[in-house]
Amino acid sequence: MTVQLKLNDWILVRNLIESGKVAEKLMRMILIHLPEGRTITDVLRDQNVLSSSDLEDSQQEVEQQSRRLSESAFADVIKGSKLIDRDTLKQLLKKQREGSFVSTLGELLEEKKLLSEPQIAFYQDETLRIVEEAEQEILDMSESWGQTLITGSNESSSVNTFAHFALEEDQGPPATKNPSAEFVYEEPKIYPGLILNDQYRTMTFIGGGGMGAVYKGEEIPSKKTYAIKFVRDDLKDSSHYERFEREILVASALIHPHIVQVHDAGETNNGVSYFVMDYVPGEGLDSLFRKHGALSLKLSFQLLCQILDGLDYVHSKNIVHRDLKPANLLIYNDDSDNKQLKIADFGLARVLNREQREQELGKPIFVTIAGVMTGTPAYIAPETIREDAIDHRADLYSVGVILFEMLTGRKPFPFMTHMAIIAGHLSDAPPKLASASNKLFPSAIQSFLDSLLEKDPDDRPQSCQDALTIIKEEIFPLLEPDPGQGPREGP
């Protein structure tokens, strides 16, 4: 059997076993018989396995460990920026430890006026990306360890969890001295010049991550350029591979100028799976943010209309993307030097009429697991967090978060932990554009953004076409020239 818990629950399980508060055999039985819809905390409390005070202390310990990971990653990012000298940073970290982490490093940097608020927000965003990758790796290891615990096998090695992490002056998160360093996928079976089924040739390495690698390639007969995505061998029996297959099945059926289409898929002679997709000679919107911060009003809404146009087509096929974020929006210049956009990565997409689409494709479509929150926390819709039934309006909420970032250069909820970000999406009103950017914006733009970020999907624009109509009728007339903006840095 397979038990799926949230990351903090796995950490709690590990901590309780290692501290001796709960015997391993008892925890195994709890996991095996965990009722559907109940959490580990519920069972521990209801069965009086731990006293209320012990359980509360254990939960606080998990929260503290999570916070220490975030704080350490942030410290390492600041160290790598070289904006703060090493001795000063050491003194701040020492002060933070002595204060039992009551103050965040960001607060201390602002208090000492060592970095400006926008600088701190930028490096916090970078830290979130690093922490997300670290947490996913820890979750994967935790699930593997949990399966070993349930089956009673002792063959696998102990998993690294937040319990093994301590914030030290010169130490980064587990398994790395520098969490800023990207994990680069280096699969010896894949290399430039590799011929794929006598049809494609790999050319240059574009990038890689935890799931695999992407190469620039070409179709041999036509010399047409493509991007070729390979998946790691060791992920073939995991949920990551299902995501890979889902992206092939969904994106191959989408043909639109603002969608990265998948054209072909196969397997190399030495067993590595791949798919062939549009090559976009540009960069992600996230890269544009890092270079320029906020975008001009005109460019923001030009790109937004392309996002909505592509999404409208996707939604017409009864598909919800569910992972819209700047990294999945690819920007390039067309022949007239105008910026164009394509939506990428349909690995988390949900097909609303799955049975009909399976009949059209002649293949089954893998579905994501019910009850598991899917998406990127900074851009996720409240109904997804609540695990309500979702539809295309969840994508419109993500569009609202992206628009906020386009206009201000920051996210509406730029917090350090996933839990704080999620709480913001669920209950906090996003800051007004003027307060987030110290610039004036027309009321029509503020009202439009507020409507996209409504907590209740019924209060948002009900379709991409509705949103496009508002932009064309109420906002485009305001953009020549950009009112109240003055000179803006960036593209």
What local confidence, expressed as pLDDT, does residue 297 receive? 94
Intervals of CATH 1.10.510.10 along the chain: 283-478
| pLDDT tens by residue, 399-429 | 999 999 999 999 998 876 777 788 889 888 8
Intervals of CATH 3.30.200.20 along the chain: 195-278
Residue 315 tokens read as 């939604």
| 339 neighbors 332 (Cβ within 8 angstroms) | yes
Residues known to be catalytic = 323
| C-alpha to C-alpha distance for 398 and 377, rounded to whole angstroms | 10
| Beta-carbon contacts of residue 472 (< 8 Å; ≥ 6 apart) | none
| pLDDT tens by residue, 152-208 | 654 333 333 333 332 233 333 333 333 333 333 344 478 888 899 899 999 988 876
Q: Report, at the CATH architecture level, how domain 195-278 is classified.
A: 2-Layer Sandwich (3.30)
| C-alpha to C-alpha distance for 410 and 293, rounded to whole angstroms | 8
81-87 mean pLDDT: 77
Higher pLDDT residue, 409 or 94?
A: 409
- The three-class DSSP label of residue 148 is helix
What local confidence, expressed as pLDDT, does residue 122 receive? 75
Residue 4 tokens read as 């799926």
| C-alpha to C-alpha distance for 289 and 490, rounded to whole angstroms | 9
124-153 mean pLDDT: 71
What local confidence, expressed as pLDDT, does residue 403 receive? 98
What local confidence, expressed as pLDDT, does residue 401 receive? 97
| Beta-carbon contacts of residue 359 (< 8 Å; ≥ 6 apart) | none
- CATH H superfamily, domain 283-478: Transferase(Phosphotransferase) domain 1 (1.10.510.10)
| pTM for this predicted structure | 0.61
Cα-Cα-Cα-Cα torsion 118, 123, 124, 129, nearest 10 degrees, comes to 140
| pLDDT tens by residue, 255-298 | 999 999 999 999 888 788 899 999 999 889 998 888 888 999 99
For 108-122, 210-224, 264-278, 283-297, which range has the lowest pLDDT when averaged over its residues?
108-122
Query: For residue 229, is pLDDT > 70?
Result: yes
345-357 mean pLDDT: 70
For 251-255, 277-281, 322-326, 387-391, which range has the lowest pLDDT when averaged over its residues?
387-391
Query: For residue 356, is pLDDT > 60?
Result: no
| C-alpha to C-alpha distance for 121 and 108, rounded to whole angstroms | 13
- In terms of C-beta density within 10 A (0-12 exposed, 13-18 middle, 19 or more buried), how is residue 144 classed? middle
Query: For residue 374, is pLDDT > 70?
Result: no
Query: For residue 456, is pLDDT > 90?
Result: yes
Higher pLDDT residue, 222 or 127?
A: 222
